[in-house]
Amino acid sequence: MALKTIPYDIANPLDNEKVIQEYFSQVLEDSDSDKIIRTLGRIARAFARAAAG
């Protein structure tokens, strides 16, 4: 029997403002511009999901 998997979306656990703030502050400490840009996209996806739901 084959194992069925589903893709993991990092935006899923970003379900409240405090979690988002902590996640973003951790990313900002790295000062990696590519990581910051990806993180902003994930946060935007989390906000869009919350607004739609």
Distance CA 51, CA 11 (A): 14
Q: pTM for the full model? A: 0.78
Region 3-20: what's the mean pLDDT?
A: 91
Residue 41 has pLDDT above 90, yes or no: yes
Region 32-51: what's the mean pLDDT?
A: 93
Quick one: pLDDT band at residue 23, thresholds 50, 70, 90? very high
